[in-house]
Structure 1
Amino acid sequence: MTFLVNHIILVALWALFGLFHSILAANWWKRLMQQLLVANYKYYSFSYSIFAAVTLVAVLMYQVFLHSHLLYQAPVWVKLFLCLPLLVGIFIMGALIKKYFFSLSGISVFYKMQPPPELVLSGLNRYVRHPLYFGTLLFLWSLFFIYPYVKNLLACVIITLYTVWGARLEEKKLVAQFGEKYTAYKKRVPMLLPRL
């Protein structure tokens, strides 16, 4: 019974993390915060990034230390083979976080120059509209197949569902922000999985 309850808690924690992320990133919430915080609103993105990082670490720590059952024993050659997509996922995430760190983290508020947002269509964006999400999912699913525990499967399913839903919400904002340019981009480039 404890096993089931602990895994339900894990699912609830990932779902709450996604829910808070969506609410705190939603335009209606940002407008409300802008009205409430007035001049201090410029620190909102940075504060949100700190909150997101702390809550992400908390959920991950719960998952790492949660006792779970192994679904199957992966052969060593499978684990070694899956290290390649896992490393590619880590590389994609690292490169994109490094590239967009100032705009994603909100730390740019502490610098005078803040370039206006632009639609990036080069690099990995030529193959997939959300390369950071693609890299994250590639990493997570590779990790699950290397360590096929129930807890990792649950996390992968919840995070994948949230990522697809979150990408669709984000695309509504991008269409509103960039108009026909983004709509045309959507028609020719897949959302999460690059065409082979």
Structure 2
Amino acid sequence: MFIINHMILVVLWLLFGFLHSLLAANWWKRIMQRRLGAGFKYYHFAYSVFAALTLIGILVFQITMESRLLYVAPVWVNLLLCLPVLAGLAIMVVVIRKYFFSLSGISVFYKQQAPVVLEQGGLHRYVRHPLYFGTLLFIWALFLVFPYLNNLLACCVITLYTVLGARLEEKKLVTQFGEQYVLYKQRVPMIFPGRFMPRK
């Protein structure tokens, strides 16, 4: 049962990534737009609710399952690792808070829609996808604090999906913003900062 549960965990994270990419793909959205008609305006919000519920379900399964401790780190090491954990969490909170209305799809319930612009300031001066960077920093630092096998497997799958998902998203952004995004790509790294000062 120990091995089976870990295999199930990997499959769940893979399915989450697959469904997340599928439901966000432009070709799938066009299909849903034809089928839903006027109701398509609620698609993004429904998608966000579905993603949140499935994410919570997987996390509950991961946290409650029995797993193997891979190593024991000194207390001072874990205390130091709290810094990147908090840093990653802070980045995630800042980005999600800034883009909550557009990310969640809740803006459909408001009459005035915010204009879609290419953000290049703030954290976007250092990486094109700060939410992905913050997420990876958070989960890997958290794994080093809680070095269980299930957490390692989750980190590996999430990292793989994040990198692949970012590449898919880049294609959509180039289509959406054109030459403006191409020039932005030339100046700023995708996920991992090349240096801590913005490129000029």
Shorter chain as denominator, the TM-score bin is over 0.9
- 1:121 and 2:120 are equivalent in the alignment: yes
Aligned residue in 1 for 2:63: 64
Cα distance per residue 1:2-55 (max 9 Å; x no partner): 111110000000000000000000001100010000000000000000000000
Match of 2:157 in 1: 158
Q: Which one-letter code corresponds to 1:33 in the other structure?
A: M
SS of residue paired to 1:80: helix
In structure 2, the residue matched to 1:12 is: 11
Runs (4 or more) in structure 1 with deviation over 2 Å come to none
Corresponding residue of 1:86:
85
Counterpart position of 2:198: none
Q: CA deviation at 1:116?
A: 2.5
Q: Which secondary structure state, in structure 1, belongs to the residue aligned with residue 5 of structure 2?
A: helix
Q: How many aligned positions are there?
A: 195
Superposition pairs of residues 24-43 of structure 1, within 5 angstroms: 24-43=23-42
Distance 1:115 1:107 in 2: 12
% same residue: 66
Provide structure 2 residue ranges, at least 5 long, that are not aligned to the other structure: 196-200
Residue by residue, what CA displacement relative to the aligned partner does 1:121-172 show, whole Å, maximum 9, x if unpaired? 0000000010000000000000000010000000000000000000000000
The whole-number CA distance in structure 1 between the counterparts of 2:110 and 2:131 is 25
Distance 2:173 2:44 in 1: 18
Amino acid at match of 2:111: K
- Structure 1: unaligned runs, 5 residues or longer: none
After superposition, the CA RMSD in angstroms is: 0.6
Normalising by structure 2, report the TM-score. 0.96
Residue identity in the other structure for 2:145: I
Q: Counterpart of 1:73?
A: 72
Q: SS where residue 99 of structure 2 aligns?
A: helix
Alpha-carbon deviations, 1:82-139, whole Å to 9, x = none?
Answer: 1001001111101111110000000000000012211000000000010000000000
